[in-house]
Amino acid sequence: MASATRAVAIEKFGINGQGRGMIDTMIAGDDAIAIASASVSAARLARMALRTWIVDRWLMGICSSCTQIVVIGAGLDARCMCLPLPHTARIFELDLPIIISMKSHLLSSASCRFRSVLRVPCDLSLTSWPQQLLHAGFQNDQRTAWLCEGTAM
């Protein structure tokens, strides 16, 4: 439902010059988007659109000086695959194994190519997630942008 609401908000408010938001539309599906269009209040759509715009602008601005981006609690958010971020940036998405598996499956059927994102299945409530991030290729000595929108709205 979050992806469906985001897709409707992107379409309604023209976030980042996009129409509906291709990736969110693909993840949510037409039925969920129809439900979101009919049931989500205009105020909620406006808040989501504004939050999306603010976070996207922050991420694009900070990433010009970062070599890594870490998205904590990435969920089904796919902004890092479609924003015009530096192609040299390494992107890590962290979330529960079931979420990472579902997201990978949903995006595997995409007919278009997205930028490369390293998905790290981990439980953020456990102390082992930093080691899992390091094992995935994260480098402590690199300037990094940390996006925690999914865990600290």
> Dihedral of CA 1/125/128/70: which sign?
positive
CATH number of the structural domain spanning residue 25: 3.40.50.150
The pLDDT score that the predictor gives to residue 106 is 78
- Residue 152 lies inside a defined structural domain of this protein: no
* pTM given for the model: 0.78
Q: What is the pLDDT of residue 42?
A: 77
CA distance 21 to 132: 31
For residues 24 and 49, the answer to whether their CB atoms sit within 8 Å is no
Q: Is the residue at 9 inside a domain?
A: yes
pLDDT at 115 over 60: yes
Domain count, the chain: 1
Domain assignment of residue 153, yes or no? no
Which tens digits make up the pLDDT trace of 31-52? 877 887 788 787 777 777 788 7
Percent of the chain with pLDDT over 70: 84
Q: Tell me the residue range of the domain where 135 lies.
A: 2-147
In a domain, 36, yes or no: yes
